[in-house]
A = this chain, B = another copy of it.
Amino acid sequence: MAVFPDDSVGLVSPRTLHVSEPLRLSSGAVLPEFDLVYETYGHLNEHHSNAILVCHALSGSHHVAGYYPGDKKPGWWENLIGPGKTINTDRFFVVGCNNLGSCFGSTGPNSINPATGRPFGPEFPMVTVRDWVESQTHLATALGIERWAAVIGGSLGGMQVLQWAIDYPDRIAHAVIIAAAPKLTAQNIAFNEVARQAILTDPDFHGGRFYEHNTEPRRGLRLARMLGHITYLSGDILHQKFGRDLREGKINFDYGVEFEIESYLRYQADSFAGRFDANTYLLMTKALDYFDPAAATDGNLTAALSPARASFLVLSFTSDWRFAPARSREIVKALHDNRLRVSYAEIRDHHGHDTFLMRIPLYLEVLEAYLERVFQDST
């Protein structure tokens, strides 16, 4: 039997919540019913007051921590979650939920559309951050959670946290928003658009109906992921890890792998294209582009956040050029304007946007200190 580290939640298994109520989406489309796949770690206390929802980013899933049987790699936030860890499962009941439109079990483009008997593909409607929050309230209710002790997320996950605070102020005590932004910039959208064009113009995309052609737009997904990786990491860390190192110690004057950075990108691309769904990639980038809670208040983020009642921790990383600290400070300012309790830390680190996934001591200490408060509030 496999032995897991003491600070891991160990073997885990996903569960499915079937929601048979229709969900009206931001686009106006309606999902008559849907599944949400989720995992939980730790125990829900008597008063159901110690539950933490972890929201995932573009390529994440409900598999946040622990191991599936036979797996060598644990969930995507294993670095932070487990017994005695930063998000301490001895104290908290932690919930990971796969977003609607994703490809890891919750209803999405690769699910069978009950109305047609074939995969949704391009018929799957666009989903927004608000739609995800809406769907997640069903999970909260099903689990008997009136109010989350905290909702936590990084990147696109952090945007869901912000939306929770706006849409359900009574159901979220603490909001932890990491490496996020109140909306994308033109440059952010531009990178997403290149990724989408790579997928949409791949001849194997077949207008999103590639499942039925028994193929997938692998080339497009590969390019999207390579590009993504460049923006998730800082120039500094790429320099430190790869520099101009040559794979074979010399230039070959051909289009094979010459520089180590090329090898890294191709490896990441191949691995991703084997496990991710192209339609989901498109949907996730669109949800990112659309996210702009202040759009409804003429661009006034302070006004948009006025319904919020939670206490906030906002974290950013100095080397994150995708969602730079200045973007987090926009959120902090709007929270301050609303006289909400907000803690903010700008963590000095050189890894870039992906720092939120890593074991960076200062980062974990700040988060742990804040969660101590969340714990005190929850007991």
Task: Report which A residues bind B (CB closer than 8 A).
Answer: 27-29, 125-126, 183-187, 189-191, 193-194, 196-198, 200-203, 219, 222-223, 226-227, 229-230, 235, 238-239, 241-244, 251, 253-255, 258-259, 261-262, 265-266, 269, 282, 286, 289-290, 292
Note all chain B residues with C-beta closer than 8 A to A259: 186, 189, 193, 289
Q: Are B253 and A27 in contact, CB atoms less than 8 angstroms apart?
A: yes
Partner of A262, one of B29, B189, B251: B189
Partner of A289, one of B235, B258, B290: B258
A interface majority secondary structure: helix
> In the complex where A190-B265, A255-B282, A290-B251 touch, is A197 in contact with B226 (Cβ < 8 A)?
yes
Distance in angstroms between the alpha carbons of A190 and B227 in the assembled complex? 8
Number of copies: 2
Note all chain B residues with C-beta closer than 8 A to A223: 194, 197-198, 201, 223
Q: Are B262 and A193 in contact, CB atoms less than 8 angstroms apart?
A: yes
Note all chain B residues with C-beta closer than 8 A to A229: 190
Q: Are A185 and B253 in contact, CB atoms less than 8 angstroms apart?
A: no
Partner of A189, one of B203, B241, B254, B261: B261
Note all chain B residues with C-beta closer than 8 A to A202: 219
Q: Are B196 and A255 in contact, CB atoms less than 8 angstroms apart?
A: yes
Closest to A193 in B: B262
Note all chain B residues with C-beta closer than 8 A to A262: 189-190, 193
Distance in angstroms between the alpha carbons of A229 and B197 in the assembled complex? 15
Partner of A227, one of B189, B227, B258: B227
Closest to A282 in B: B255
Partner of A187, one of B190, B235, B286: B235
